[in-house]
Structure 1
């Protein structure tokens, strides 16, 4: 190993130790806190095991220049399987990261204290950016985030829904609204 790799590993180790000590010092009986939020970048949200059959999904819609709203579209990657993905799959990892972010937003909505504002949470702000990117025509590699993007839309909106999925191609059998954003202006 070269010196750069050793320094990088040491800094990552110091980062984890600092987060754990600072977070656990304030909340000895809880393994949560504002500083432990940063661990989320390294670990998936495992709460989906608590609600088998339903999964959080992100939906977006865009307002056209004429003021008419388009249909709600689900932002969820369906990547074609390739043997090369076993060893190297940055596009699939990005799509999974985006879905993990949606899972974390659902978890934050569930854990929100009475009178709390979800718009102040980093997960809400990041999902807002993800929804905006999808509306504007974002891609996961060569797969478009939405079947019908609206890059010139002046406004957009997103919803977080819990979908019970059918076994055929992930078509939602039923959907329960968890969160709906206000109408948001697009930016360039």
Structure 2
């Protein structure tokens, strides 16, 4: 039997064993459960209707001027071939799932906890930088309010309440250097 298959079976066996001995609470937590989240999406949208977390980014140019906040929730056009193979939309959904995991971690954060120590925060920071790069690349230099040579960036996670589209700030990152 292949070593990879043995390791995957052992991983799920350990998680199953941990599930048997865990406390009976609504929230699943702990370092081993965080590893399991990589295999499954965030299913909290089944708990009821409410706010949807969205990622907003902005950049600062060499002159110290900030761009406007831009929501990063790209919608892709669909084609019939995507019923068979759909990597772009799957990647977009995984990005949104990551933002939802960060939102969940923020809401479950202990009173004196630091969200910057969580893997979901570090991953969303990277996603925000990629989103800021994408926003700068897709707009023309003449009409863009994004700086052509950014020095810093910042992101926010906002809860967007539908249908009236009011947003509530959940997290604002510190100003992050572009080179980091």
TM-score, length-scaled by structure 2: 0.84
Tell whether 2:122 aligns with 1:130.
Answer: no
Partner of 2:35: 38
8 Å contact kept, 1:137–1:150: no
Query: 2:23 matched to 1:28?
Result: yes
TM-score by length of 1: 0.81
Q: Equivalent of 2:4, from 1, 8, 31? A: 8
The number of aligned residues is: 173
Tell me how far 1:114 sits from its aligned partner. Answer: 0.7
C-alpha contact (below 8 Å) 1:136/1:152 kept by paired residues: no
Conserved in 2, the CA contact under 8 Å of 1:62 and 1:150? yes
Unaligned runs of 5+ in 2: 139-143
Give the aligned CA root-mean-square deviation in angstroms: 2.6
Query: Corresponding residue for 1:169?
Result: none
Deviation at 1:61, TM superposition (A): 0.4
RCO higher in structure (CA 8 A, sep ≥6) = 2
User: Which residue of structure 2 aligns with residue 173 of structure 1?
Assistant: 165
Alpha carbons 1:23, 1:33 under 8 Å: kept: no
Bigger mean CA offset, 12-21 vs 118-127: 12-21
